[in-house]
């Protein structure tokens, strides 16, 4: 059985997983007095709330009053240039969202990573929603620990503080010390969360469905479905057994990537409402100034975050859906051009099907090659276009939006700008947002927002293009080799040399570190190894077409290889790898 299925992780897994199928490391919980939280069920939750009008009416009035008052204040005062007034408005947003509880705090957390959506003088306050919220009573936390673990905290830990190090939307974290001297992070869940989430998600969904026709949105898909995806992930977060499983699976995926650290789970000290993990000694990815003060390279850390995110989406098919600064820590050390960083908080995770993952990879390749006809087909396969939609008028629209955004420089691509343009296109073309992509888009947008916070000139595609191009040229998996053949050869079997040239140019340029030796090595291994039989066969077929020998494609290929992998260039790359300082000086 695949590991992902065995662990019960991924979308929807929480509602189906049986405790017997979870890892053998889980302790025998005869003393586990809590029960699994109910799965997210919007219809059942709405019925439950309607049958309790005293809960519904009182909470609805609070939500409408708080949000309505905030909206009026922002509309009337947000244009002011008075910095003191703007700081007061930022605090008003912070206190309103934090006062409304976990569901609304999560919205604020997402906004806190978007400097292109939220005024910069508001961001500093909003980042406090990540792990700087008011803690709940310490005595309650100690009671939860004793209920869950069956023993008081002072008997379990050699040292347990009187105050948490951080408090977030769903729990608070203590830095405790074990008898062996190791420090651990003990996360304790806020009280009464299942009730709070059930009540507020039912209200949010009802307001979203009722208000969707009046909102300036054209998702092409039900807003309720997007809210449901958020609700399912939120309910999964309050079962710390699942989070422990998620963390261990995520650690296995990155086991051979030293640039990414995942804290070890202490299973014997973890239950459904208490999670104990290794303490991470690092710097939050919040401020470029703070990173530089600790002699850490923001550019290398940004690169690591983006590459790790791409691996999750395009290789592993399993991703961290909440990569805000409170969940990412910079660590000392480097691996090549990648800085070292740690992920924490694995409550909000999701998976992507192999079919969607491969289609997404192909879409990036088609974008590289400006093949907008193939890109339109990718959108159809992914569900962004109706299966019966006529693609003829859509292809020119994609060329206008994406071709213009890319321009002559890949670095000009801005994910947020593109999503804005797509929102406009949805009014004229049958685009829609599949619900299963809600968390993927959120994760990508959050990742780009975090990177832009550290470097306003950052463009995610500068890293994504070379990453995908290298993987494609290496042909390291059967699916990548199949995709490479699709890219390099047209329907008649002829070699499309310009596409290979585009891929090589992307690897070399656009600010990426020139790294030709691995590309040459992987290419030769693919061409002459047993995995390259399909490629060799297609190359031979392209030489002999229509009962004639065609050598022009071969000549163009040899010329391209000679220019790209000349001995002088490879030697220069080899010397640069041996002595990076010399290459910088030159």
Cβ contact 245:8 at 8 Å: yes
By residue count, the chain amounts to 586
Residue 322 designated active-site: yes
Do residue 364 and residue 457 come from a single domain?
A: yes
Cβ contact 431:307 at 8 Å: no
Residue 548 in domain: yes
Do residue 438 and residue 487 come from a single domain?
A: no
Do residue 523 and residue 581 come from a single domain?
A: yes
Residue 501 in domain: no
DSSP labels for 137-191? PHHHHHHHHHHHHSS-HHHH-SB--SS-SEE-SSEEEEEEE-TTS-EEEEEEEPT
Do residue 433 and residue 363 come from a single domain?
A: yes
Residue 520 in domain: yes
Q: How far apart are the first and last CA of the chain?
A: 53
Residue 371 in domain: yes
pLDDT at 294: 92
Do residue 490 and residue 434 come from a single domain?
A: no
Round to whole Å and give the CA distance between 261 and 330: 10
- Per the structure, the complete domain to which residue 581 belongs is given by 483-496+513-585
Along the chain (586 residues), what's the average pLDDT of each consecutive run of 10 residues?
A: 39 36 43 65 92 94 92 84 84 88 82 64 73 86 96 95 90 95 96 92 89 59 75 88 96 95 96 96 89 91 90 91 87 91 92 88 80 88 84 84 57 58 65 75 79 79 77 75 76 74 68 56 69 70 65 71 65 58 44
Do residue 446 and residue 374 come from a single domain?
A: yes
Do residue 444 and residue 489 come from a single domain?
A: no
Round to whole Å and give the CA distance between 133 and 172: 9
- Secondary element (H or E) of residue 343: strand 338-343
pLDDT at 442: 76
* Backbone phi and psi for residue 521, each to the nearest 5 degrees, phi listed first: -60, -50
Do residue 362 and residue 416 come from a single domain?
A: yes
pLDDT at 190: 93
Cβ contact 184:276 at 8 Å: yes
Residue 419 in domain: yes
Q: At what angle do helices 552-564 and 533-543 cross, to 10 degrees?
A: 130
72: buried, middle or exposed (CB in 10 Å: 19+, 13-18, 0-12)? exposed
| Residues paired with 175 in a beta bridge | 185
Residue 379 in domain: yes
Active-site entry in 131, 200, 322, 371: 322
Do residue 401 and residue 447 come from a single domain?
A: yes
Cβ contact 519:507 at 8 Å: yes
In sequence order, which residues have a C-beta less than 8 Å from that of residue 316 and are 6 or more positions away? 253
DSSP labels for 255-289? TT-TTEE-PPB-GGG--SSEEEEEPP--EETT-HH
Residue 533 in domain: yes
Round to whole Å and give the CA distance between 190 and 98: 14
Do residue 446 and residue 531 come from a single domain?
A: no
> How many Cα atoms occupy the beta-carbon half-sphere of 41 within 13 Å?
10
Q: What domain count does the chain have?
A: 2
pLDDT at 513: 45
Cβ contact 468:476 at 8 Å: no
Cβ contact 124:112 at 8 Å: no
pLDDT at 31: 47
In sequence order, which residues have a C-beta less than 8 Å from that of residue 272 and are 6 or more positions away? 32, 34, 36, 148, 239, 240, 241
pLDDT at 392: 86
Residue 14 in domain: no
Two structure tokens written together for 486: 């699709």
Is 241 strand, coil or helix? helix
Two structure tokens written together for 275: 């999670």
207: buried, middle or exposed (CB in 10 Å: 19+, 13-18, 0-12)? middle
Is 546 strand, coil or helix? coil
């Amino acid at each position: 059985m695949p590991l992902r299925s065995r662990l019960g992780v991924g979308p929807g897994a929480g509602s189906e997983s049986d405790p017997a199928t979870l890892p053998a490391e889980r302790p025998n919980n005869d003393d586990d007095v809590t029960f699994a939280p109910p799965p997210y069920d919007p219809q059942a939750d709405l019925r439950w709330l309607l049958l309790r009008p005293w809960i519904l009416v009182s909470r609805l009035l609070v939500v409408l009053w708080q949000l309505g008052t905030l909206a009026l204040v922002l509309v009337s005062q947000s244009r002011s240039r008075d910095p003191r007034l703007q700081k007061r408005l930022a605090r008003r947003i912070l206190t309103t969202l934090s006062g409304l509880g976990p569901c609304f705090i999560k919205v604020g957390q997402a906004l806190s990573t978007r400097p292109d959506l939220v005024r910069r003088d508001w961001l500093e306050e909003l980042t406090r929603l990540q792990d700087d919220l008011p803690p709940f009573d310490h005595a309650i936390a100690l009671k939860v620990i004793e209920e869950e673990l069956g023993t008081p905290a002072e008997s379990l830990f050699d040292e347990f503080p009187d105050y948490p190090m951080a408090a977030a939307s769903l729990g608070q974290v203590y830095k405790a010390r074990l008898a062996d001297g190791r420090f651990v992070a003990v996360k304790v869940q806020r009280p009464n969360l299942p009730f709070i989430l059930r009540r507020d998600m039912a209200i949010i969904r009802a307001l979203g469905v009722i208000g969707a026709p009046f909102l300036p949105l054209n998702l092409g898909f039900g807003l309720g479905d997007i809210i449901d995806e958020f609700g399912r992930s939120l309910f999964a977060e309050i079962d710390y057994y699942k989070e422990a499983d998620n963390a261990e699976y995520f650690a296995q995926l990155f086991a051979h990537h030293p640039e990414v650290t995942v804290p070890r789970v202490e299973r014997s000290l973890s239950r459904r409402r208490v999670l104990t993990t290794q303490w991470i000694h690092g710097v939050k990815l919040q401020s470029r100034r703070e990173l530089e003060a600790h002699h850490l390279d923001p550019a290398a850390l940004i690169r690591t975050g983006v590459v790790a995110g791409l691996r999750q989406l395009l290789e592993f098919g399993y991703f961290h859906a909440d990569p805000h600064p409170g969940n990412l820590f910079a660590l000392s050390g480097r691996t090549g051009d990648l800085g070292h960083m740690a992920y924490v908080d694995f409550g909000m995770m999701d998976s992507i099907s192999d079919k969607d993952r491969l289609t997404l990879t192909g879409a990036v390749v088609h974008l590289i090659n400006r093949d907008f006809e193939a890109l339109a087909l990718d959108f159809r396969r992914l569900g962004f276009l109706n299966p019966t939609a006529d693609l003829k008028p859509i292809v020119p629209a994609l060329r206008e939006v994406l071709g213009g955004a890319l321009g002559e420089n890949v670095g000009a691509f801005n994910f947020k700008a593109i999503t804005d343009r797509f929102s406009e296109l949805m009014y004229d073309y049958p685009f829609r947002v599949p619900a299963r992509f809600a968390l993927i888009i959120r994760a990508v947008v959050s990742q780009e927002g975090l990177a832009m916070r550290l470097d306003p000139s950052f463009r995610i595609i500068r890293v994504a293009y070379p990453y995908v191009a290298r993987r494609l040229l290496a042909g390291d998996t059967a699916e990548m080799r199949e995709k490479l053949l699709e890219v390099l050869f047209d329907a008649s079997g002829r070699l499309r040399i310009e596409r290979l040239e585009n891929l090589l140019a992307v690897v070399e340029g656009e600010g990426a570190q020139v790294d030709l030796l691995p590309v040459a090595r992987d290419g030769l291994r693919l061409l002459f190894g047993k995995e390259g039989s399909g490629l060799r066969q297609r190359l031979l077929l392209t030489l002999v077409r229509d009962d004639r020998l065609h050598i022009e494609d071969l000549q163009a290929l040899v010329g391209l290889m000679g220019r790209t992998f000349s001995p002088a260039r490879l030697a220069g790359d080899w010397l640069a790898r041996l002595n990076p300082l010399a290459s910088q000086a030159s």
